[in-house]
Structures are given as structure tokens and as C-alpha cells.
Amino acid sequence: MRKVRIVAVGVVIAVLAAGGIVGFQIDTGSRKIDYVVGSEDGNRVELDVTLQRVDVTARELDLRIIPVLHGALADGADDIPAKDIEVETSSLTSGVLRFKAHDRVSLQDVRMGVDDGLVSSYPFDSYAAGIGFYVTAGDQDVPLSLRFRGYDALFTAKADDAEWRTGLLKANVVAGRSFSSSVLAWFLMIAMWALALAVLGAALTIVSKRMGLVWPAMGWMAATLFALVGFRNAAPGSPPIGGLIDYGAFFWAELLTTVSLVYVVVHGIRQARAD
């Protein structure tokens, strides 16, 4: 019987480990996808855009942009323009990005405003932003394409609904919580409820058995009250207070724990005085 239990535990551990590896593959696989849209002209500017971070508080996307030159627009290499390149973005802070002819191009950081999405929906929050580029080479409109990928560990991002013509390209970027951050957020919510219900169950047991002031139990309950705050602050991305995670778990867990602790203390004091 003991050997059977050991084997069963080993099988459970193996299944959980395999599930974790599968989840890791799903999470990392979604980050390796490049979304390519736009012109396929042999003489074009390809904007390589990566999403570095989703700033949920400022409601902005931090993008990193570098133009890749093809055909006659490149001066011997895809990172050296044959003509002056100007990239006008839809960003309200960065304006026009300029790249001099015959000089190696460099990465440019741009912040784009979010059009849709609220952090109060955490952990179900997602964000959408329209991005646009107008590109000229030597004051002439050129064919344009976009290669987009997301590097923010907390979000899975993609570009869709693209529209383009010579010199102009528009697309919509959608960023949602990654698989790993969503799983951890859900685990924290379930753990907060489990801790609160455990405290409530212990409180009801102490009172029903008229056990009086049980100091170790009250110390554990008080410690749980503060431990819940640590659980809340461990949420991926450190969302501000007032999100769905708070109304769905944290506020109620704190309330149940506090009420249980006070209930046990009041009952214990009455019991001690009566004795």
C-alpha cells in the first residue's frame, strides 16, 4: 500500500510538471510570433516595431522602432539608407523620426496612447491602440510594411486591421494579459478566498466549542490579515487598488478575516469574564 501511494505521488508530480512545461510552451510560443502586414514591394521601408512595455497607469504603449530598408532604398545594407528617411508617427510626444542618408539607422523609442482598455478590469484587462506611420525617402512617398512583435512579459500583443498605401500604414495593436500572468492572478484570488475561509472556519470552531482566548489561533488570524496584503501586492504588474481582483477576492478576504478575528476575541473575553 505504501509503494502504491509513493507511485501515485510520483505520477501526480510528473503530470503537474508536464502541465507546467506545456503552459510554458504556450506562453513563450505566443511571444515568438511576428505579425507582418503592408506592401511587398521590393523597394520598400519595413518598420520593425516591438512592444517593450504596456504602461497601464499612464495608458501608453512603449514601442521601439527601426526602419529596415529594401532594394534601391538601401545603400549597400538594410540599415543604411540611400536617401534621407523621415518617419512621421501618430505619437503625440515623439513627432517625426529622421534618419540621415548614408548613416547607420538606430533604434527609436516612441510612446503611443491607448485608445481602449482599463486597468480596473485586472486580470481581464486588455488594451487597444491605433498606430500610424507616414514615411518618405528623399521627400518621396515610399511603399511601406510593418513587422510587429511583443516583448512585454506580462502581455501578449498582436497587430491587426492594417490599412496601407504608398507612404502610409495604419494598424491596431491589441495587448492582453499573458497566460502566465493570468494564471498567477487567478491563483492569488483563489488563495485569498481559501485563507479567509480557513480563518472563518477556525473562528466558528473556537466559538462553538467555547474555547475562550486561544492566543496561537488569534496570532495566526492576525498574521493572515497582513499576509493577504502581501498576496495582493504580489499580483503581476502591481495593479492599482480598485480592480476586479480587489472586488472579487481581496476586499472580501480582508473583511472575513477581520470579522473572524474580532468574533473570536469578543467571544474569548466574554468567556474569560464568565469563568
**82-109 residue pLDDT tens:** 889 999 998 878 778 999 988 889 889 9
- Identify the CA nearest to 43 among candidates 160, 138, 170: 138
Residue 24 pLDDT exceeds 70? no
Question: Sign (positive/negative) of CA torsion 71, 172, 115, 179?
Answer: negative
Q: pTM score, two decimals?
A: 0.80
Domain ranges within the chain, ordered by starting residue: 1-32, 33-177, 181-274
What's the distance, CA 83 to chain centroid?
Answer: 39
Residue 65 pLDDT exceeds 90? yes
- Mean of pLDDT values over 178-194: 90
61 contacts 158 by C-beta, under 8 angstroms: no
Q: Is the peptide bond before 143 cis (omega within 30 degrees of 0)?
A: no
Give Cβ neighbours of residue 77 (< 8 Å, ≥ 6 apart): none
Apex CA 79: angle with CA 75 and CA 83, to 5°?
45
Residue 39: half-sphere exposure toward Cβ, Cα within 13 Å: 20
Query: Rounded distance, CA 7 to CA 9, Å?
Result: 5
- Mean of pLDDT values over 236-243: 86
- DSSP H or E stretch at residue 188: helix 179-208
Query: Rounded distance, CA 119 to CA 106, Å?
Result: 33
Residue 32 pLDDT exceeds 70? no
Give Cβ neighbours of residue 193 (< 8 Å, ≥ 6 apart): 249, 252, 253
**Residue 29 banded pLDDT, cuts 50, 70, 90:** low
C-alpha cell at 70: 529594401
C-alpha cell at 142: 515610399
**196-226 residue pLDDT tens:** 999 999 999 998 888 888 888 889 999 999 9
Residue 250 pLDDT exceeds 90? yes
